[in-house]
């Protein structure tokens, strides 16, 4: 039977979960997949983590160099997070001919070409299922099960923290700040939640998914990004009345040889499959030209869900004689490949003075910018009236120009929010 030695870098939440699965499932993996996967090295500053897993302290390495030189290590699993030293450690592993498995989405999306170049030189494998969607097998679905398709569209909820916050705001009518505090107390959100709530985490994941979907690397800095911090309980309640659910979506679409890539809050029709993905769950909705619509749903984070994806990669890697190469990742998209002026429906909420002609003035601005109105709602509120508009499909630049001009109208007190609508 083939024996495969695994080194784990970092025994925190994800690394510890991965180690536990490898230990508990070792016999099952031997019987079902014909490989004996053993943890032969660990790199961690806390030796008690090694002991808590029932592992021998003899496998605790003192440096990455020691692991790179260890003949009993075939696969290096990185669960450290951050850009450095994770990237440098993985490059050392690849240069030593050891395959790598990582859950580090930011490092991977920013360093993919460099990692692939190092892997190609030695024939080592590069595996990253756990970077996108936690326990959902979305990477292998796209690389191993979609060969008959040109992927036309991806819509994804791929950040559990923001989905948890938005679910509770929708269900309870509570404010963003109040729910964020609860999310931090429960461990769903970091003390500094910027990476999640401002959409960075989703952008890293969309970069990886889009690069695979469109066979050309999509650098993360070409993805349009907005976070959820401006969403209010009032907008969410109005959206409900209009038949919408709010989600932070990662969206990529292929149109006429160009790519539309964006991460931002969206009002989704209640009958869309993604509308019922709640709490910390993730889902990826993919449209292929042959298969049509498919959706994967599951837990997007946590020790065991993420560990599940990592162990899947380890076993898959262990059974390969030749590893897949990603030479197309060196071919990067540029700004010329991106559709910046994308089309969407829009929800606009503003406050205006209750005077004659204010609606006509706003309508005049919309007409000037070729913005067509699908719905309008006007509520009474003393001298200041809230007005809600939902548009038909409109260009992004036209809508933003119209909103800027509307905000400057004499009797418009404030523009409260602009949210895109996906149907």
Provide the CA 281 distance to its chain's centre, in angstroms: 12
Q: At what angle do helices 396-407 and 358-368 cross, to 10 degrees?
A: 150
Reading the block at residue 344, the tokens are 């969407």
Q: Which residues of 174-202 are buried (b: 16+ CB within 10 A; e: fewer)?
A: eebeebbeebeeeebbeeebebbbbbbbb
Which residue among the candidates 87, 98, 155, 205 is catalytic per the annotation? Answer: 205
Assess contact for 26 and 36: CB atoms under 8 A. Answer: yes
Assess contact for 410 and 358: CB atoms under 8 A. Answer: no
205 catalytic per annotation:
yes
Q: At what angle do helices 160-172 and 233-241 cross, to 10 degrees?
A: 70
> What 3-state class would DSSP assign to 99?
strand
Nearest-angstrom CA–CA distance, 146 and 143: 6
Helix, strand and coil content of the chain, in percent to the nearest 5, comes to 40, 30, 30
Nearest-angstrom CA–CA distance, 311 and 170: 35
Assess contact for 138 and 296: CB atoms under 8 A. Answer: yes
What's the alpha-carbon Rg for the chain, to the nearest Å?
Answer: 24
Could you give the count of Cα atoms lying within 13 Å of 40 in the half-sphere of its Cβ? 18
Strands 244-255 and 151-157: antiparallel
Cβ contacts of 145 within 8 Å, gap of 6 or more: none
Task: For residue 109, give the nearest of 221, 13, 254, 192 by alpha carbon.
Answer: 221
What is the 8-class DSSP label of residue 200?
A: H
Task: For residue 402, give the nearest of 394, 410, 393 by alpha carbon.
Answer: 394
| 187: phi then psi, degrees, rounded to nearest 5 | 85, 5
Q: Catalytic positions, please?
A: 205
């Amino acid at each position: 039977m083939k024996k495969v030695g695994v080194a784990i870098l970092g025994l925190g939440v994800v690394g510890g979960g991965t180690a536990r699965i490898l230990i508990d499932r070792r016999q099952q993996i031997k019987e079902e997949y014909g490989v004996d996967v053993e943890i032969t090295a660990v790199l961690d500053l806390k030796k008690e983590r090694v002991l808590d897993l029932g592992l021998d302290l003899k496998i605790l390495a003192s440096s990455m160099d020691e692991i790179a030189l260890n003949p009993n290590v075939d696969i290096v699993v990185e669960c450290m997070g951050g850009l450095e030293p994770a990237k440098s450690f993985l490059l050392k592993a690849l240069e030593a001919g050891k395959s790598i498995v990582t859950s580090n989405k930011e490092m991977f999306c920013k360093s993919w070409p460099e990692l692939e170049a190092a892997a190609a030189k030695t024939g080592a494998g590069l595996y990253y299922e756990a970077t996108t969607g936690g326990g959902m097998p979305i990477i292998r679905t796209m690389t191993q099960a979609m060969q008959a398709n040109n992927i036309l569209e991806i819509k994804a909820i791929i950040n559990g923290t923001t989905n948890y916050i938005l679910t509770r705001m929708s269900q309870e009518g509570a404010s963003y700040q109040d729910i964020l505090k609860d999310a931090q107390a429960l461990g769903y959100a970091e003390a500094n939640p910027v990476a999640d709530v401002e959409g960075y985490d989703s952008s890293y994941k969309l970069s990886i998914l889009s690069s695979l979907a469109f066979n050309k690397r999509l650098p993360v800095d070409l993805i349009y990004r907005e976070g959820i911090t401006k969403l209010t309980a009032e907008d969410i309640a109005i959206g409900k009345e209009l038949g919408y659910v709010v989600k932070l979506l990662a969206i990529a679409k292929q149109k006429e040889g160009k790519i539309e890539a964006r991460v931002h809050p969206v009002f989704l029709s209640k009958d869309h499959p993604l509308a019922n993905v709640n709490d910390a769950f993730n889902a990826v909705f993919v449209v292929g030209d042959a298969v049509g619509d498919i959706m994967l749903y599951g837990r997007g984070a946590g020790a065991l869900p993420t560990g599940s994806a990592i162990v899947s990669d380890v076993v898959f890697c262990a059974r390969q004689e030749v590893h897949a190469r990603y030479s197309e990742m060196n071919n990067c998209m540029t700004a010329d490949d991106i559709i910046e002026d994308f089309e969407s429906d829009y929800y606009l909420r503003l406050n205006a003075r209750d005077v004659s002609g204010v609606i006509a003035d706003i309508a005049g601005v919309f007409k000037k910018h070729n913005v067509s109105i699908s719905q309008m709602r006007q509520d009474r509120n003393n001298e200041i009236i809230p007005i809600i508009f939902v548009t038909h499909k409109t260009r992004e630049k036209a809508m933003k120009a119209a909103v800027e001009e509307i905000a400057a109208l004499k009797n418009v007190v404030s523009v409260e929010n602009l949210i895109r609508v996906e149907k």
